[in-house]
């Protein structure tokens, strides 16, 4: 369960700033801004989120505002590339493979 009353300055998570009953609407608006078809539409949508929620949810709006440009950066790329850029599965696979290959094996000679 989220604790909207507590703010951890090192953790930039808007979900921690939004009461559970308001989270679905806020999340839908943020997601719409992030997944807009263009950066101009994304910025307009983000400005609407800020305008609508800045008085009621200042902490969540601050988290969102700090990260909105990073979230819409993939919109500069062609549509076919956006999903690959936004997901980290390729990067995570590389880390797992690196750990697997660099794992120290027990001495094969039995010393």
pLDDT in tens, the chain (111 residues): 344 444 433 335 778 888 889 889 999 999 898 888 889 999 999 999 999 999 999 988 888 888 888 888 888 878 877 777 766 666 677 777 777 777 666 665 665
* Helices of type H across 3-88: 23-34, 39-53, 58-72, 79-86
- Examine residue 64 and state whether it is found in any structural domain, yes or no: yes
pLDDT of residue 106: 62
Number of domains in the chain: 1
Asked if residue 111 is part of any domain, the answer here is no
The verdict on residue 92 lying in a domain is: no
Would residue 50 count as lying in a domain? Answer: yes
Query: Which structural domain, as residue segments, surrounds residue 59?
Result: 14-77
- Rounded CA gap, 48 and 28, in Å? 12
- pLDDT value at residue 91: 67
């Amino acid at each position: 369960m989220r604790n909207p009353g507590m703010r951890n300055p090192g953790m930039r998570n808007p979900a921690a700033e939004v009461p559970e009953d308001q989270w679905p609407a806020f999340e839908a608006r943020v997601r719409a801004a992030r997944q807009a078809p263009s950066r101009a539409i994304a910025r307009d949508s983000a400005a609407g989120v800020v305008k609508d929620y800045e008085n009621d949810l200042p902490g969540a709006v601050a988290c969102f505002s700090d990260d909105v440009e990073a979230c819409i950066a993939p919109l500069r790329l062609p549509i076919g590339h956006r999903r690959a850029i936004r997901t980290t599965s390729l990067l995570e696979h590389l880390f797992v493979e690196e750990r697997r290959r660099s794992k120290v094996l027990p001495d094969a000679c039995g010393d």
